[in-house]
Structure 1
Amino acid sequence: MTLETTTWFGSAVDASGPSLSSQYALVASKTIDPEASRPEIVTGIVDVLMDVIEPTVGQTTLSLYEYVNPDALEEIIEASASKKSDIEVRFTIEDYLVTVRSDYTILIYKPIGTQRDTGKTPCPTS
């Protein structure tokens, strides 16, 4: 089985597993219908994030304004899509790397190798 990973500046497919603590593993994705009257990029990001992130006690919503300007993000993606130019915007939300592409794809990556950051080796499970 292959593990799709990425870093801030690219992506790779690694069959042997993570090797760098700065890598992220793909944990969720969503493609928004670009034919909708107005593609809901922000709603799509929040929906997929709430499925992945374990909210803190009592948290029922996620405000993107704390992490990125949602209006500017939508304008960038929509302008790029209309010009048929490929771009992606990356930002982090609670340690997750969020990638939004001009083809209306949202990718959520979880950091991997956190045990290596602390110098601890993961314990094998039986």
Structure 2
Amino acid sequence: MMMLKMMMPSMPKMPGGDEKKEETAESKEEAAEQERLRQAAIKEKEKERREHYQKQRDVAKSERSKIREKYKLDATPEPSDEEEESEDDEDDGFGSSKKKDEDLDPAAKAKALAEKQMNEAMAMAQGKCVLQ
């Protein structure tokens, strides 16, 4: 213990530990004003971002229409709400896709049932038969 005291004669104090600040009404108002300004800046940036991407979409749309006119293609119809919802339900294409029982044909259902019953029978047999 004595060595510890020799190495570190006094414990360092954490900043802001003992000092208590009393916020005045002015400092609270300043903080509220700064927060309001920060929120306004965030909204302005978001508005600028939306305008930028809207311009990009408009340019791309006009380019597509020029190409359609050049090659005499029909315009693609806008997807309806029902189509958008069905697209959300589809898998994203990553990982393995697991088929549902409704998607399997009757032969596949019968095969799956037979495999399940075989596995259950093998498990029961292993439980009863123990090698010595």
TM bracket, shorter-chain basis: under 0.3
Higher strand share: 1
> Hey, which of these two has a bigger chunk of helix by percent?
2
TM-score by length of 2: 0.19
Which has the greater radius of gyration? 2
Q: 1 or 2 for the larger relative contact order (CA 8 Å, sep ≥6)?
A: 1
TM-score by length of 1: 0.19
